[in-house]
Amino acid sequence: MNIIIVDNNQEVGSTTGEMILEKVRQNPNTILGLATGSSPISTYEYVVNKTEQENIDWSNVITFNLDEYKGLAPEHDQSYRYFMNEKLFDKINIKKENTFVPSGLIDTDEEANKYDDLIASKGGIDLQLLGIGTNGHIGFNEPGTSFDSITSIVDLTKSTIEANARFFASEADVPTQAISMGLNSIMQAKEIVLIAIGANKAEAIYELARGKFSPEWPCTILQNHPNVTLVLDQEAASKLQ
């Protein structure tokens, strides 16, 4: 596991953004796994700015997002499809039909499972971007999730709902379920980059890097992946030093 510690959020964004852009420069047909939430915003801002400066071509890139809230249509302003369009896709020359986000309107795990088949049919993910929850979740795979899990409908913990309430009018408006790539789904990526910003992520990062391999900290599954890089600000890395 490669650990890169930088000073602040902006440097997390530039470091991670450069890793993503290098994939696109090297392979115009690269397949990226993408994440949402507050952590990757600085990364996407860097990617957008550099793409404009260097005229980087995204027209043949394919992307798959980790997750989506169950019950939210793509047009809902708190859906992850809306987030990705606003933060990235609308600002680069990627084809929308090449950008995949799990549907929040599916009702069965059988429907959700097809997302893994779709990823496999495109050739698998070359680089997967991850954030991490304070409880160690990656995607929306909460503590106790099976390490064998694939894309499915999942229940969100109270702590995750509370953490995401800041994006909604009230906590009552936060969906209680999501469609999420499973832990086994995430592990199929050829390379993984996980970003963490802030002191509230420090415990989860410690468990990921130094803790016991356990479903109680879903992130620890990454200890078994051959190509993982953590990009951390000083606060997120504080318990490692």
Question: What's the mean pLDDT in 157-182?
Answer: 91
pLDDT at 241 over 90: no
Q: What is the pLDDT of residue 59?
A: 98
CA 76: distance to chain centroid? 19
Give the domain extent around 24. Answer: 2-237
First-to-last C-alpha distance (Å) of the chain:
16
pLDDT at 160 over 90: no
Q: What percent of the chain lies above the pLDDT cut of 90?
A: 93
Q: What is the pLDDT of residue 164?
A: 85
pLDDT at 24 over 90: yes
Question: What's the mean pLDDT in 24-50?
Answer: 97
Question: What's the mean pLDDT in 223-241?
Answer: 97
pLDDT at 237 over 90: yes
Question: What's the mean pLDDT in 117-122?
Answer: 98
Q: Give the total number of structural domains in the chain.
A: 1
Backbone angles phi, psi at 188, to 5 degrees: -75, -15
- Report the CATH number that the domain containing residue 155 is assigned in CATH: 3.40.50.1360
Q: What is the pLDDT of residue 86?
A: 97
Query: What digits encode the pLDDT tens for the residues 60-113?
Result: 999 999 999 999 999 999 999 999 999 999 999 999 999 999 999 999 999 999
Of the candidates 65, 63, 59, which has an alpha carbon nearest to the alpha carbon of residue 92? 59
pLDDT at 167 over 90: no
pLDDT at 222 over 90: yes
DSSP result, 49-104: HHHHHHT---TT-EEEESEEETT--TTSTTSHHHHHHHHTGGGS---GGGEE---T
Question: What's the mean pLDDT in 23-52?
Answer: 97
Q: What is the pLDDT of residue 163?
A: 86
Among 41-50, 70-79, 159-168, 215-224, the minimum mean pLDDT is found in: 159-168
Question: What's the mean pLDDT in 41-63?
Answer: 98
Q: What is the pLDDT of residue 133?
A: 94
Residue 141, strand partner residues? 138
Q: Which residues are catalytic?
A: 67, 135, 137, 142
